């Protein structure tokens, strides 16, 4: 499959002017769902609380048509929002290896990614660099995100397993930097 289906569960908790999900929808780079029940039944939920990383071991499911699903909500309400999704879907929760945010709200913070940044690193890790660049294109910070994380992205995309990917992130980041 050339392009990975990207879906967003949008909970209208943030400033609409700063919402990367709505802009992704505008440019037809993702499908936005306003209700959890409308989200895909098969795929991976990008969940920063998950203990399991998305990585090379998941490429097979993606190649078989599994979707990537992101939750667009306020970081302040993430726990309750994720609990609701996990109770109401069968999506497999996966976290992402650390990279630095380049968006205006969380610039430079490890792991505090916008929806588009989370999708971009996911696609990059899964060998879909072209799609990652395409979805970042409409954003002022898109190119900066790739430049800021160039070394980790190169290393992450060469990982042969999820276990190797997990170890690689600590070559670039200190464990004390994990987001709360």
Q: Give per-residue pLDDT as tens, 40-69.
A: 878 999 998 899 999 999 999 999 999 999
pTM of the model: 0.90
Q: Give me the sheet containing 92-94, strands edge to edge.
A: 31-33, 6-10, 67-72, 43-46, 92-94
DSSP 8: E
pLDDT of the residue at 141: 95
E strands, 13-152, in order: 31-33, 43-46, 67-72, 92-94
Q: Where are the domains of the chain?
A: 6-177
Question: pLDDT higher for 10 or 77?
Answer: 10
pLDDT in tens, 98-109: 999 999 888 988
> Facing residues of 10 across strands?
72
Residue 14: pLDDT over 80: no
Cβ neighbours of residue 131 closer than 8 Å, sequence gap 6 or more: 2, 3, 4, 123
pLDDT of the residue at 178: 56
Q: Return the closest-CA partner of residue 135 out of 112, 119, 149, 154.
A: 119
pLDDT in tens, 79-95: 777 777 777 778 899 99
pLDDT in tens, 21-46: 889 999 999 999 988 778 887 899 99
């Amino acid at each position: 499959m050339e392009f990975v289906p990207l879906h967003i569960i949008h909970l209208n908790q943030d400033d609409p002017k700063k919402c990367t999900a709505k802009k992704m929808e505008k440019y037809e780079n993702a499908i936005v769902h306003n209700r959890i029940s409308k989200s895909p039944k098969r795929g991976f939920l990008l969940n920063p609380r998950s203990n399991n990383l998305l990585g090379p071991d998941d490429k097979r499911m993606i190649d078989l048509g599994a979707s990537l699903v992101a939750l667009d909500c306020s970081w302040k309400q993430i726990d309750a929002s994720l609990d609701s999704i996990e109770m109401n879907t069968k999506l497999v929760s996966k976290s992402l290896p650390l990279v630095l945010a380049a968006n205006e709200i969380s610039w430079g913070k490890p792991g505090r990614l916008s929806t588009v940044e989370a999708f971009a690193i996911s696609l990059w890790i899964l060998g879909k660099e072209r799609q990652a660049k395409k979805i970042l294109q409409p954003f002022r910070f898109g190119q900066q995100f790739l430049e800021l994380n160039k070394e980790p992205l190169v290393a992450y995309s060469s990982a042969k397993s999820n276990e190797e990917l997990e170890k690689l992130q600590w070559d670039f980041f200190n464990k004390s930097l994990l987001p709360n």
